[in-house]
Amino acid sequence: TTAAKRVRTETEIARGAVSVSRVAVQLAHKLLGNLEGRSVLLLGAGEMAQLAARELRSAGARELLMANRSPQHAEELAREAGGVPVSLAELPALLERADVAICSTSASQAVVTRDMMAKALKARRYRPIFLVDLTLPRNVEPSANELENVYVYDLDDLERVAAQNRDLRAAHVGKAEEIVDAELKAFLTMSRERAAMPVLARLRAHAESLARAEAEKTLAALNGLDEKQQKTVRAMASAIVNKLLHAPTTRLRAEAGQGPLGDAAAELFGLDAEPQPASATKATTVDEQRGDEGAVLPMLRRR
């Protein structure tokens, strides 16, 4: 609807991710740019990790590598998400390959260590890697974040961004309500005008019919008028109709044309029996444009 589009485009209420999985995806966009052709590694089977992996795949990631301690579980996850099952034992090589790694295993200690990442960085020629740790205790050794071109974000980081975006949305609620109120008033006005159309059409048709009849009667009585003079008489009759109907037309459009005022006008002018012109019922449509795009998210980096 027009109101919804205006709210999205004129306020910040729909911008900025507020879920952990969506924040992870938008931060990956911010860090890596275009995600098309990127490789995503999913460690473990946590629900948030799967959601984030699917979001990344939808954003254009080239491949989704699903690693799990259980090969059977890895195959099931890969089948559901459209990914490729891989062995967790191959983790060092997988870290050399992936652009984004989402960690969500049930391990009681770090699965991705600083030393492991240092070796992977050298093999990948220090190409940046984005690590998302969605677990407690942490799957990624915190000191790995100190390495150049290694970007580690944990749950606290993601929740902080989500909270900032929620605050941003809340700050625009008042503006959104003003837009909705304005659009509601515009809709009600348009509805009243449409409701008045049948009575207005019958009223104008009735008045123009009478004016034409009287003009022709007058022209017949004024024998000898040339074509230009006849046009002048007919134009005068039409102008009188327009001037007489201006005020009632404006009033009927401002009111509900099919309500008491419209009924009174129909009865007063004897319009009930007159057919409604087909053109009077044609409804116009409102062209809706403009899309919306996500807000630029703040980047967090703990050093």
Residues in the chain: 303
For residue 3, pLDDT beyond 70: yes
Please tell me which residue, 77 or 115, carries the higher pLDDT value.
115
Round to whole Å and give the CA distance between 90 and 86.
8
DSSP H or E run through 154: strand 150-154
> Would you state the CATH architecture of domain 13-171?
3-Layer(aba) Sandwich (3.40)
Predicted structure pTM score:
0.55
**Alpha-carbon dihedral of residues 136, 165, 17, 291, nearest 10 degrees?**
180
pLDDT recorded at residue 261: 59
pLDDT recorded at residue 236: 92
∠ Cα 137 142 148 (to 5°): 150
∠ Cα 127 302 43 (to 5°): 55
Instruction: Select from 142, 145, 149 the least CA-distant residue to 123.
Output: 149
Which token pair is 25? 């995806």
pLDDT recorded at residue 73: 82
Maximum C-alpha span of the chain = 111
Instruction: Select from 94, 17, 104, 93 the least CA-distant residue to 55.
Output: 17
- pLDDT-derived band at 192 (thresholds 50, 70, 90) equals low
Instruction: Select from 181, 203, 201, 153 the least CA-distant residue to 17.
Output: 153
Round to whole Å and give the CA distance between 241 and 245.
6
- pLDDT-derived band at 155 (thresholds 50, 70, 90) equals confident
Instruction: Indicate the domain borders of the chain.
Output: 13-171, 174-277
Q: Express as a percent the part of the chain with pLDDT over 90.
A: 26
Please tell me which residue, 27 or 116, carries the higher pLDDT value.
116
Tell me the helix, strand and coil percentages in the chain, rounded to 5: 60, 10, 30
Contacts (Cβ under 8 Å, ≥6 apart) of 221: none
**Half-sphere exposure for 58 (CA within 13 Å, toward CB):** 11
Strand partners, 44: 104
Dump pLDDT digits (tens) for 5-37: 877 777 766 565 657 778 888 888 888 888 888
Round to whole Å and give the CA distance between 68 and 79.
13
Instruction: Select from 155, 168, 161, 136 the least CA-distant residue to 12.
Output: 168
On whether the CB atoms of residues 86 and 60 are closer than 8 A, the answer is no
Q: Express as a percent the part of the chain with pLDDT over 70.
A: 79
For residue 69, pLDDT beyond 70: yes
**Alpha-carbon dihedral of residues 14, 56, 157, 101, nearest 10 degrees?**
180
